[in-house]
Amino acid sequence: MSASPLLLRNLFSANKILIKPYFANSVKAMEARHDLPITSLDYPKPISAPPPPISKDIELKRAIEASSKSSLFNLTRDDVLYEDEWLMAVDKPKGVYCEYILSSAPKIIVDSSNEFHLANRLDRDTSGVMLITKSHKVAAKLVKAFTEHKIRKSYIALSIGPSPNWSKITVKSGHGRSKHGAWRVYAALDVGRVLPGGSFVRDMETTFEVVSINGENPQPSESESTIVVQGEPELSCVGDDVVVVRAFPRSGRTHQIRLHCQYLGIPIRGDVKYHGMYEWRGRTSEGHELHAESLSLDHPVTGDPLVIQAPLPCWAAGDV
pLDDT averaged over consecutive 10-residue blocks of the chain (320 residues)?
A: 41 38 36 44 89 94 96 93 94 95 86 81 96 93 92 96 92 91 94 92 96 86 86 68 96 95 95 93 91 97 96 78
| Integer Cα distance of 8 and 30 in angstroms | 36
Q: What is the pLDDT of residue 318?
A: 60
Per the structure, how many domains does the chain have? 1
| Whole-number pLDDT of residue 164 | 92
Contact 297, 145 (CB under 8 A): yes
What's the pLDDT score for residue 169?
Answer: 95
Residue 164 belongs to a domain: yes
Q: What is the rounded distance in angstroms from the CA atom of residue 190 to the CA atom of residue 278?
A: 32
- Residues designated catalytic: 123
Q: Any residues with CB less than 8 A from the CB of 298 and at least 6 apart, and which?
A: 145, 150, 304, 305, 306
Nearest to 89 by CA among 131, 40, 134: 131
Residue 79 lies in a domain: no
pTM exceeds 0.85 for this model: no
pLDDT for residue 19:
35
Cα Rg for the chain, rounded, in angstroms?
21
45 part of a folded domain: yes
Angle among Cα 125, 128, 132 to the nearest 5 degrees reads 105
| Res 82: pLDDT | 95
Domain that holds residue 174: 1-30+41-65+151-288
Q: Is 138 part of a structural domain of the chain? A: no
SS3 state at 110: coil
Cβ neighbours around 63 below 10 Å, total: 12
Is residue 172 domain-resident? yes
Q: Is residue 206 part of a domain?
A: yes
Task: Look at residue 162 and tell me if it is in a domain.
Answer: yes
- In whole angstroms, give the CA distance from residue 101 to residue 91: 10
Q: Could you give the CA distance from residue 48 to residue 33 in angstroms, rounded to a whole number?
A: 30
Does any domain span residue 163?
yes
